[in-house]
Structure 1
Amino acid sequence: MTDELLVVRAQLGERAALAEVVARWRLPVWRYVRRMLDADRADDVSQEIWLAVVRGLPRLREPARFTPWLFAIARRSVVDRLRTEYAREQETPLQDDRCVEQDDRCVEDPGEAVVVRAELVDALTGLPVLEREILVLHYLEDLSVQDCAQVCQVPVGTVKSRLHRARRLLREHLNGKGYRS
């Protein structure tokens, strides 16, 4: 069954259809939020997103555009959370008590894959928020450039330039770690 049909059925009040929509999209939404925030905040923000979806679903005029609509809600929720936290940080500076050991490397193949993934995640989180968001939406959530533009409420050209800049920044970071493209 297509997302569009499930959304229409959910709009008509069918609980099973709403449950199916949530089941299909819960993990992709959480992954998007997790890539923008840490795991603890991702859980909270994901719940806020689904509450907004349930409340707003009856007003969705184009069920075929559910995916960009869903990610637009997710984006607004992430931005709201970041904005709130940045405002709090300005009031009371927080100390960073994370300990990062840079010389601790795995040698075995399975461990090497974990290290490579961790370095990629580190590189992704090191990108500016706007560029990270575009990379996550386009490459990891498989949204088109047009859908990314709709979600981020920017022109298509802006999405393309952010993608270009994000890829360049990611490449520079990985090259600095010894990876070659």
Structure 2
Amino acid sequence: MAARTHHLVVRAQGGDAAALEQLLSECRFDARRYAVRHCVTSEIDDAVQEALLIVARRLHALESAASFASWLFTIVRRECRRLSRKVFMHEELDEEKFEARFAARSMGELRSELFCALDSLPAHYLEIILLRDVEELTISEICERLGISVATAKVRLRRARLLVREYLTGVDMMV
């Protein structure tokens, strides 16, 4: 399915309306299955519908067709959280609650969660966060290596860190 999905994404990004329709049809089941694990039961269909609308509107901005699945699941997860907050009027997580939440976990649990958070990132966000926070390259070095502007590097790094924090806390930081 990955090769077929990749092909559909590329065609849809090129403006092929039939390919977009087919892509949305084929990924609906996976999006719904993913939403079942992340949404309150009454919100599943709404989250999937909203996620697919976002995919249709923003597919052209996806930089790598290979990262489509993780991008789709990130959108579904965000929609589940957004709808949940709307229904239950959740508060944002303050810094004290954030620190207390992680202080109670073992180092092994934290490593495992961080690995999963990084694994959920689209490829271009994962790449920049690894270059900056693991390899400890400067923004200038990252720009040179990736061939991107300073502004692009800073935006990607900020969004990557927000997505990791969102994954770890369950709070959508990119509202």
Task: Give the counterpart letter for 2:75 in structure 1.
Answer: I
Cα distance in 1 between the residues matched to 2:5 and 2:38:
25
Distance apart, 1:13 and its partner CA: 1.4
Stretches of structure 2 lacking an aligned partner (at least 5 in a row): 92-114, 123-159, 169-175
Aligned CA distance change for structure 1 residues 17 and 79 (closer, same or farther; 3 Å): same
Deviation at 1:40, TM superposition (A): 3.0
**Counterpart-to-counterpart distance in 1, 2:75 and 2:37:** 16
- Given the alignment of the two structures, is residue 148 of structure 1 paired with residue 148 of structure 2, yes or no? no
Structure 1 residue 76: Cα displacement: 1.1
Matched with 1:79 is: 81
State how far apart, in whole Å, the 2-side matches of 1:24 and 1:35 are. 19
AA of the residue aligned to 1:52? I
3-state SS of paired residue (2:6) = helix
Q: Deviations over 1:94-119 (max 9, x none)?
A: xxxxxxxxxxxxxxxxxxxxxxxxxx
Structure with bigger gyration radius: 1
Q: CA deviation at 1:23?
A: 2.1
**How many residue pairs align between the two structures?**
103
The one-letter code of the counterpart of 1:85 is V
Give the CA deviation at 1:149. 5.0
| CA displacement, residues 156-179 of structure 1 (integer Å, 9 cap, x when unaligned) | xx87xxxxxxxxxxxxxxxxxxxx
What percentage of residue pairs aligned between the two structures are identical?
34
1:147 Cα deviation (Å)?
3.0
- Offset at 1:65? 0.7
SS in 1 for 2:15: coil
Look up the match of 1:46: 48
Task: Provide structure 1 residue ranges, at least 5 long, that are not aligned to the other structure.
Answer: 90-143, 160-181
> Which of 7, 26, 30 in structure 1 is aligned with 2:9?
7
CA distance in 2, matches of 1:85, 1:72: 20
Aligned to 2:10, what secondary structure does the other structure show? helix
Please list the CA deviations of residues 54-89 of structure 1 after superposition, one character each: whole Å capped at 9, or x if unmatched: 011011111111111111111111111112122179
Task: Name the CA shift for 1:59/1:85 in 2 (closer, same or farther; >3 Å).
Answer: same
Code of the aligned partner of 2:57: R
CA–CA separation in structure 2 for the residues paired with 1:28 and 1:21: 11
Given the alignment, which residue of 34, 51, 63 partners 1:32?
Answer: 34
Tell me which of 23, 33, 50 is aligned to 1:21: 23
3-state DSSP class of the match of 1:13?
A: coil
Q: CA separation in 1, counterparts of 2:30 and 2:68?
A: 13
Query: What SS does the aligned partner of 2:89 have?
Result: helix
The DSSP-based 3-state class of the residue aligned with 2:120 is helix
What is the Cα-based RMSD across aligned positions, in Å? 2.8
CA distance in 1, matches of 2:44, 2:76: 10
Which of structures 1 and 2 has the larger relative contact order (alpha carbons within 8 angstroms, sep 6+)? Answer: 1
